[in-house]
């Protein structure tokens, strides 16, 4: 089988999604399954729908278009503010889009009128993470202006947290979103079908027993695909953490010094190599690199340590576990590594039907978290 490749167990993804859908249903919260880290894969989208998600969301209209062409039977939501240049595409393929700018909504209105369609809008509100969002004090006026556009249906409001600045969803900011929803309904009449309380980072709050107020939707991707929460990258009880595995092949295995020699400058990506001399080590090189994934987000098997990476090479210390040429090494991976591996045309994607099986807390057995980042890089997952 070709390498590098992602081996994707659809049964485990289905189990993770079904588990979270069920837990959140008990809190009267629906789930939008996010497919952006899956590159809009129809197979993964199908697993999410079989598990009971109410809609699919993606940040790239191209992924939504691909799922539509594959006849994936689901409401589609563009979860990034549309580009003006893609308004026609958005209206043609997405039932709903997240918005913060009246100029964009105006363009969507024109595109929807031309296409003879009505396009749904969720207005995103800024609650502290400082990514996208309308400032709360400006929301009432934005709603008023949005309601004036023909062929536009205001469906709800939402927020996004923990992506840019790591601001955690909590009782305070989630209550603020509920208050804003109640205020909009009081001023304009009961009209908000959706109050979207964020992404996988909101799970901890939503399942804590806290008052969920008006929040009735979460957008889940990482928690389903990787079985862990984004806030602290800890595994979620009852979920598989090994639904997706990255496989790479050994192309060199030699004993080499642990310390480089010669005049040292910056390496290919601007980092400075470590200077600690550990003596001779068994060095293994794999045919995968930064062009294919995020090396800082890869978790090697026991007995191996990632030493560094260039565009096309991943270098391991395999002293405790020597590998022959042609051997395949399996890695667990974080969100950043998954996102880049899915995007790389050089990484094959192998779908396995799998079967849904119950599981306990699996992460201690299945995932080794790295002790440190690679020199010159930071985990962005």
Q: How far apart are CA 221 and CA 36, in angstroms?
A: 8
Handedness of CA 67, 69, 74, 77 (dihedral sign): positive
The DSSP element (H or E) to which 19 belongs, if any, is: helix 10-25
Both tokens of 263, joined, read 């005049």
Given the residues 12, 36, 107, 155, select the one marked as catalytic: 36
Question: Is 349 annotated in the active site?
Answer: no
304, 338 Cβ separation under 8 angstroms: no
Q: Which residues contact 362 (CB under 8 A, 6 or more apart)?
A: 227, 235, 239, 240, 241, 242
Query: Which letter, b or e, does each residue of 275-301 get, where b requires 16 or more Cβ atoms within 10 Å of its Cβ?
Result: eeeeeebbbbbbbbbbebbbbbbbbbe
Q: How far apart are CA 59 and CA 132, in angstroms?
A: 13
177, 196 Cβ separation under 8 angstroms: no
Handedness of CA 267, 272, 380, 341 (dihedral sign): positive
- As annotated, the active-site residues are 36
């Amino acid at each position: 089988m070709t390498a590098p490749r992602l081996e994707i167990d659809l049964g485990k993804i289905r189990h993770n999604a079904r588990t979270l859908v069920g837990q959140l249903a008990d809190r009267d919260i629906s789930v939008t399954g996010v497919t952006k880290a899956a590159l809009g894969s129809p197979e993964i989208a199908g697993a999410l729908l079989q598990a009971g998600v109410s809609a699919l969301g993606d940040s790239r209209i191209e992924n939504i278009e691909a799922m539509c062409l594959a006849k994936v039977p689901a409401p589609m939501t563009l979860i990034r503010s549309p580009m003006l240049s893609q308004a026609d595409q958005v209206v043609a393929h997405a039932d709903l889009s997240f918005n913060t700018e009246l100029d964009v909504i105006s363009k969507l209105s024109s595109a929807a009128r031309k296409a003879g369609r009505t396009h749904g809008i969720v207005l995103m509100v800024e609650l502290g993470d400082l990514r996208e969002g309308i400032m709360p004090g400006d929301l009432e006026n934005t709603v008023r202006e949005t309601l004036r556009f023909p062929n536009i249906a205001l469906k709800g409001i939402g927020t996004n947290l923990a992506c840019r600045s790591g601001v955690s969803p909590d009782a305070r900011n989630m209550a603020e979103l509920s208050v804003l929803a109640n205020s909009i309904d009081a001023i304009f009449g009961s009209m908000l079908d959706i109050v979207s309380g964020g992404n996988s980072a909101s799970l901890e709050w939503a399942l804590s027993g806290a008052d969920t107020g008006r929040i009735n939707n979460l957008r889940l991707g990482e928690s389903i695909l990787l079985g862990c929460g984004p806030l602290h990258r800890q595994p979620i009880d009852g979920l598989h953490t090994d639904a997706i595995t990255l496989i790479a092949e050994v192309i060199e295995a030699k004993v080499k010094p642990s310390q480089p020699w010669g005049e040292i400058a910056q390496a290919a990506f601007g980092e400075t190599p470590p200077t600690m001399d550990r003596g001779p080590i068994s060095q293994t090189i794999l045919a995968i690199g930064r062009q294919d994934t995020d090396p800082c987000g890869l978790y090697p098997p026991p007995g191996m340590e990632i030493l560094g990476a260039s565009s096309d090479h991943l270098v391991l210390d395999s002293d405790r576990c020597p590998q022959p040429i042609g051997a395949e090494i399996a890695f667990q991976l974080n969100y950043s590594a998954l996102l880049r591996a899915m995007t790389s045309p050089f990484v094959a994607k192998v779908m396995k039907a799998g079967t849904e099986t119950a599981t306990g807390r699996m992460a201690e057995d299945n995932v080794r978290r790295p002790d440190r980042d690679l020199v010159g890089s930071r985990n962005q997952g």
